[in-house]
Structures are given as structure tokens and as C-alpha cells.
Homo-oligomer: A and B are copies of this chain.
């Protein structure tokens, strides 16, 4: 069964396809199509269930009404929640989302951008990987709306929306210090992105400001993509060999691994040992005791991302580049 085309509708209504097109696109009044014709055509469209072919429309107009979303991993709850919020807001404005996960792999990310390009997506929302600078710059030079989020690329001038990672991590350490902790460890990843670096810098600076020594042995950089079992074992080692009395986990999945490690070695969170996790996770609230976390304001991030995108999409002229830094919130749970 072949789908109906505008031609079929025009034939049934005994008008030209031009007229049908005007009516479909709400230009009937503007083009002064008579009320009678409008009604007739609309009735036929309604009855036949005709839906314009978006592919043809896209080829003609150059717009697809599709936004490309490129994240590290859609199954990570931070990204899937953002994806959901963005989807919601985009759909209300007639945009659909096509997504992809980079797995932190430059080659894959580049390939994805190329695919999205050849599919002519109208705009890009990207949680970038280092190494993507030129590709992103090309998009921007092409006048494509691009919003980076979560992590920024220092060497590219692009719109960016993200939490204040430095101060979030600084505050966490501050909290540890106020609770009398002195041997504070950081468990982070070896991924070389600004947002991770900033969390590290916040940690370092806070130690310095509070007169605590910085000890390299207290910083564990977990290899991205390594087995969770390996991660757990490294964390166990950090915690048992050293006199660590507090740990900041730089991502939620690291904290999850960390909690598993604690459970295995039977180390209790309490009077002489504290933990703070970056990014929330249901497990943290449920954990006994509750795990304090640094929360990125998801709703606000998604809202800002989509607002910037839609603004750019709506504007004929190039808008100034914006960096929106949103404070993260430290939630104390014990």
C-alpha cells in the first residue's frame, strides 16, 4: 500500500498541489485561498489520513526538525535523564531527537557528527570528547546551532551549559574538613575533559586553602572503560592501605563501585569515615547511611540547553556565544 502524496490529495480535491501545499502549511489565508477550497481540501486530508512526507519536505526546505544528541553513554542515568528532559521540551516545539553514544571514543564521535551532518540535523547537542575541537568548530563555522553541555572544550568557542564543577568539588572538600577529616582521597577517571579536571582542581585548591597536604597517593584515576571488578579492587586497595578518612567520588558510577568496595571490605561510613558522590543516583538516597552528593541541576541544564538551541534555531542572525555555568548543589545526607 503506497502512502498518499500531495498529488493524490490535489487530484481528489480538483485543485493544484500548490493550493494543497499552501493549506497544509497554514499559508491559505496569506495566499488568499477561498474558504470553500480550504474546507474541501482539509476535509479530504482529514478523511484520507494524509501526512506530508517529511523527507521530501526536508530536501526542499533544508530543515529536518531533528536535533542530534551526542552523549557519552545514553544508559548513564545522568544522560538518560537529560535526554528525557530535552526530548520533552523539544517535542513541544516540533523537534525530534536522534541520539548516539560516543563511549568517549574520538573516532566514533567524529563519525557520529558526520552522520548527523549528512542526515542534515538542524542542531547539535553534544557532550563532547577531547579531540573533537575541529569537528565542532566546523559545525559552528557552518552556522549550525551547537550547544555543548556537561563538559566544555577549552580550545573551542562554543555555547556551553554545565555545572560549576570546580566549586562543587571545592565545597565537598570543605565539608569534609569541617567534619574534621584530614586524609581526603579523590576517586576520579583518567578521562581528560575539562569537567573532570575541574573537579580535580577544586579538590586540590580546597586542600591547599585549608592547609592540608596534597598527596598523590590519595588520588585514584580510574581508567575509563575498565572492568568494574578492577575498579572495585583498586578502590579497596586505596582504602585499606592508606589512612584515608574521606573520599570524594568524581562521578556517580565511580561512587557506585566505591560503595560496593566498601561493602566488600566492611568499611562503615560514619564517625570516622565520610563519602561524597558526584551526581545523584537513587542508590545514594537509599543507602544506609544516606550518601551525600553533589547534584547537578538536571532540569536547569536541560532547560538552558534547549532554550539556547531553540533561540538559535529561531534566529536568522548568528547569536553571541554563551557559556552558562550553573551552580551544583551539595546535598548532605548523614
Copies per complex of this chain: 2
Q: What's the Cα separation between A326 and B61 when bound, in Å?
A: 46
Closest chain-B Cβ to A27's Cβ sits at a distance in Å of: 19
Encode A247-284 as 1/0 by CB contact (under 8 A) with B: 00000000010011001000000000000000001110
**Contact of A304 with B by CB under 8 A:** no
| Option from B101, B117, B260 in Cβ contact (under 8 Å) with A84 | B101
Interface flag for A1 (CB, 8 Å)? yes
Q: Which of A153-161, A201-209, A285-293, A313-321 contacts B (4 or more CB under 8 A)?
A: A285-293
Asked if A81 is at the interface (CB within 8 A of a chain B CB), the reply is yes
Cross-interface CB contact of A59 among B1, B56, B64, cutoff 8 Å: B56
The dominant DSSP class at the A interface is helix
The stretch that binds B, out of A28-36, A37-45, A91-99, is: A91-99
Bound complex: CA A54 to CA B142 (Å): 18
Q: How far is the CA of A101 from the CA of B98 in the complex (A)?
A: 13
Residues B55 and A120 in contact, CB atoms below 8 Å apart: yes
Interface pair A119/B256, CB less than 8 Å apart: no
* Separation of A117 and B96 alpha carbons in the complex (Å): 13
Say which residue of B55, B117, B288 sits within 8 Å of A119 (CB atoms): B55
Which residue of B99, B142, B282, B286 contacts A99 across the interface (Cβ within 8 Å)? B99
Cβ < 8 Å to B, chain A residues 121-160: 141-143
Q: Is the CB of A119 within 8 A of B98?
A: no
- Among the listed B52, B98, B120, B287, which residue makes an inter-chain contact with A287, where contact means beta carbons less than 8 Å apart? B287
- Total interface residues on A, CB under 8 Å, equals 49
A293: min CB distance to chain B, Å:
13
Which one of A69-77, A174-182, A211-219 contacts B? A69-77
**CB closest chain-B residue, reference A1:** B142
Instruction: Indicate whether A288 sits within 8 Å of B288 (C-beta atoms), given known contacts A98-B97, A100-B96, A101-B84.
Output: yes
| A58: interface (CB < 8 Å) | yes
Q: Is the CB–CB distance between B285 and A286 below 8 Å?
A: no
A77 to chain B, nearest CB (A): 6
Q: Which of B91, B99, B115, B282 contacts A283 (CB 8 A)?
A: B282
Q: Given known contacts A59-B56, A120-B53, A286-B256, is B98 in contact with A96 (CB within 8 Å)?
A: yes
CA distance A256 to B282 in the complex (A): 8
| Bound Cα distance from A260 to B55, whole angstroms | 48
Indicate if A87 sits at the interface (CB-CB under 8 A): yes
Check: A12 CB closer than 8 A to any chain B CB.
no
Contact A80-B87, Cβ < 8 Å, known A64-B55, A96-B115: no
Knowing that A55-B59, A287-B288 are A-B contacts, what are 19 other residue pairs whose CB atoms are under 8 Å apart, sorted by A's residue number?
A: A1-B141, A52-B118, A53-B118, A53-B120, A54-B120, A55-B120, A66-B98, A74-B84, A75-B77, A80-B83, A87-B100, A96-B98, A97-B100, A260-B285, A260-B286, A281-B282, A282-B282, A283-B286, A287-B287
